[in-house]
Amino acid sequence: MNAQLSVIPRGIELASIAPGNVKGLTWTTKYGTVGIDAFPSEIDGGNFSYTDGMNEKGVYAGLLYHPGFCQFTATEGKAATELLAPLHFIAYILTTCASVAEAKSALSAVTVWDYQPPIPVKLSAHFTIHDSTGACIVVEWDKGEMKTFDNPIGVLTNSPNFDWHLTNLRNYVGLQATHADSVNLEGVELAPLGIGSGMRGLPGDPTPPGRFVRAVALVAAAKKQPDSESAENMMLHLINNFDLVDGIAVASAQPPTEDQTLWSTISNLHEKSFSVRMASDVTFRRIMLESVDFDGSQIRNVELPAAASFPEWKI
């Protein structure tokens, strides 16, 4: 995907794309932003096709693949100046909004349309937006209508729609972090096999519904941390449960197609830090947004870390 880290400064003009490859929505950035530009060489008009990122005000936004369920809004009767391509959605939100509430308001003035960049898959997506107060929303498109859901759980994966995922949680209300009790069956004592029996039945598969349930259970069970640094460390361990390794999720043998976790990010919305690790380098590298120069005149791209070897521990 040739992804890069992208730094968007304050006070520059950005423009999205409208049908016919003409200029769409334009805006001036208010807040400095860092994020992962997944397609820096594919999209005309600048490197801000974010898949996720955060801004200096502590707002995070992420794009999640949503095939089979996403139908963006039709462009008929819409002015080009209000049209926003999906791959510019995150950059628009992060550079103009200081909270989830502001993001809701900003979205009411734009139309996200079915722009398809020159990539091998159809670009279907829904989005999650978080801020430092704990507010979170999910933004989806169903039969051409944009829908916004409050998301106090804070979890999102891929297809299907968010409200389906919430309904599916009702299949797992018996899960609990505490150990299951033994039962006596006609005089035969049946004790659980090992600690963790209360989570017996927790999905471990790589499908989006399985990941959603697993993420909700882990986040709900994880102990509350005393500060954001401890919470960030907890998040590091939680995110390890969702690493799709090479070969575990094969979509097609011919042609060879598979899902794989190429990078992971952790956004600390309190400390205003954005951390990234690559599949080839398991060390998270932290960017403190307060130390980033957001006063430049153009978008700055930085190569993501390449493969790293394990450092030798001499004892």
DSSP string for residues in 128-162: EEE-TTS-EEEEEEETTEEEEEE-TT----SSS-H
Rounded to whole angstroms, the Cα distance separating 123 from 116 reads 6
User: Can you read off the two tokens belonging to residue 204?
Assistant: 């471990």
Residue 29: per-residue pLDDT: 98
Q: Give the rounded distance of the alpha carbon of 37 from its chain centre.
A: 13
End-to-end CA distance of the chain: 40
Exposure of 279 in the CB half-sphere (CA atoms within 13 A): 11
As beta bridge partners, residue 14 has 27
The mean pLDDT of 248-257, rounded to a whole number, is 79
Rounded to whole angstroms, the Cα distance separating 120 from 140 reads 22
pLDDT tens by residue, 146-191: 999 999 999 999 999 999 999 999 999 999 998 889 999 999 999 9
| Residues 4-152+239-303, CATH architecture | 4-Layer Sandwich (3.60)
The mean pLDDT of 273-279, rounded to a whole number, is 94
In 3D space, the residue among 79, 84, 81, 75 whose CA is nearest the CA of residue 16 turns out to be: 84
Asked if residue 4 has pLDDT above 60, the reply is: yes
The mean pLDDT of 90-94, rounded to a whole number, is 98
Rounded to whole angstroms, the Cα distance separating 233 from 230 reads 5
pLDDT tens by residue, 119-133: 877 889 999 999 999
Domain extent listing, the chain:
4-152+239-303, 160-221
The length of the chain, given as a count of residues = 315
Residue 1: per-residue pLDDT: 73
Under 8 Å CB-to-CB from 147, ≥6 apart: which residues?
A: 139, 140, 141
Beta strands in the chain (DSSP E): 4-8, 13-18, 22-28, 33-37, 50-55, 60-65, 83-84, 111-112, 125-130, 136-142, 145-150, 183-185, 188-190, 249-252, 257-259, 263-268, 273-278, 281-288, 300-303
